[in-house]
Amino acid sequence: MVLALDHAHHQEYPGIHVQKTEIVSQPIAFFDFDGTITTKDTLLEIFKYRHGKARFYLGFLLNSPFLVAYKAGIISNQLAKEMTLKLFFGGMKAEAFNAFCEQFAKEIIPSLVRSKALTEIDKLKKAGAEVVIVSASPENWLQPWCREHQVKLLGTQLEVNNGKITGKIKGNNCHGEEKVRRIREAYDLTAWKEVYCYGDTSGDKPMLALGTHSFYQPFR
CATH of the domain at 31: 3.40.50.1000
Q: Which residue spans within the chain are E strands per DSSP? A: 3-5, 28-31, 130-138, 152-161, 164-170, 195-199, 213-216
* pLDDT tens digits for range 161-212: 999 999 999 999 999 999 999 999 999 999 999 999 999 999 999 999 999 9
d(CA 144, CA 150) in angstroms, rounded, equals: 10
Cα-to-chain-centroid distance, residue 112: 15
Is 91 in a helix, a strand, or coil?
A: coil
pLDDT at 79: 87
Range of the domain at 192: 3-216
Tell me the HSE value of 217 on the side-chain side, using a 13 A CA sphere: 5
Burial class from Cβ neighbours inside 10 Å (0-12, 13-18, 19+) for residue 202 reads: exposed
Number of domains in the chain: 1
Res. 107: pLDDT tops 60? yes
Count of other CB atoms within 10 angstroms of residue 79 = 16
* pLDDT tens digits for range 15-52: 344 444 678 889 999 999 999 999 999 998 998 898 77
